[in-house]
């Protein structure tokens, strides 16, 4: 079983679900990358979120599991109340340590571990949210040679997270939700 040669990590909080639902229908079914979605959410929404995203996507959607390999053309969701890390062998690791930026899963934790595992073969996309989670991780992705993208704050339900990222991290591109699917499809071409 060959793991995904490229990784797209999408992080969001308050208001982050809307752009995800907008971009999913536009993703190509043969996407050679794995997509990992990290959303701040309550644990009792687990099955509802998977079902909701599956209804909008031609790609399979599943919650990430411990030691599971990242496969191409698959969308993974970070489980509620666990930090999701990417190991250097391109498998998942779940961690229930302290919250980071008041969040578990933390976008920063996932972005940073993905940068260590994938280096320049990854893209991090930060969406709407009300805290600074994701900014430090974007810096790590950039420093590892990956691509960093942020939702246009003018289109975000909660613009604090993308604004902080733009102010404090190297951001390669600022995207409207309507541009995100085409951007992901381009970045995944390896």
The strand pairing partners of 40, in sequence order, are none
Specify the range with the lowest mean pLDDT, choosing from 2-11, 39-48, 49-58, 135-144. Answer: 39-48
Active site residues: 13, 40, 133
Q: Is the pLDDT of residue 102 over 90?
A: no
Q: Please tell me the distance from the alpha carbon of residue 181 to that of residue 156, in angstroms, as a whole number.
A: 16
Stated pTM of the model = 0.95
175 has a pLDDT exceeding 80: yes
Q: What is the pLDDT of residues 27-54, one digit of tens each?
A: 999 999 999 999 987 665 556 889 999 9
How much is the pLDDT for 42? 66
| Residue 4, preceding peptide bond in cis (omega within 30° of 0) | no
pLDDT bracket for residue 9 (50, 70, 90)? very high
- Give the pair of three-digit tokens for residue 180: 């995100």
Buried b (16+ CB within 10 A) or exposed e, 114-138: bbebbeebbbbbbbbbbbbbbbbbb
**% residues pLDDT > 70 (the chain):** 96
pLDDT exceeds 60 at position 124: yes
| E strand segments, the chain | 6-12, 33-39, 61-63, 74-77, 83-86, 92-95, 122-126, 147-151, 173-175
The token pair at 36 is 């990992």
Percentage of the chain exceeding pLDDT 90: 84
């Amino acid at each position: 079983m060959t793991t995904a040669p490229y990784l797209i990590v999408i992080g969001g909080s308050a208001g982050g679900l809307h752009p995800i639902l907008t971009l999913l229908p536009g993703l190509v079914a043969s996407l050679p990358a794995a997509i990992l979605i990290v959303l701040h959410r309550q644990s009792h929404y687990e099955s509802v979120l998977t079902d909701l995203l599956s209804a909008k996507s031609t790609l399979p959607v599943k919650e990430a599991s411990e030691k599971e390999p990242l496969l191409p053309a698959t969308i993974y969701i970070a489980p509620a109340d666990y930090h999701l890390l990417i190991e250097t062998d391109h498998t998942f690791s779940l961690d229930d340590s302290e919250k980071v930026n008041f969040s578990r899963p933390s976008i920063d934790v996932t972005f940073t571990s993905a940068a260590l595992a994938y280096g320049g073969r990854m893209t991090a996309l930060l969406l709407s949210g009300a805290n600074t989670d994701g900014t430090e991780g974007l810096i790590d992705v950039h420093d590892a040679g990956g691509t960093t993208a942020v939702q246009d704050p003018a289109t975000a339900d909660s613009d604090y997270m993308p604004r902080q990222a733009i102010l404090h991290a190297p951001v390669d591109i600022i995207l409207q939700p309507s541009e995100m699917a085409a951007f992901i499809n381009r970045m995944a071409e390896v």
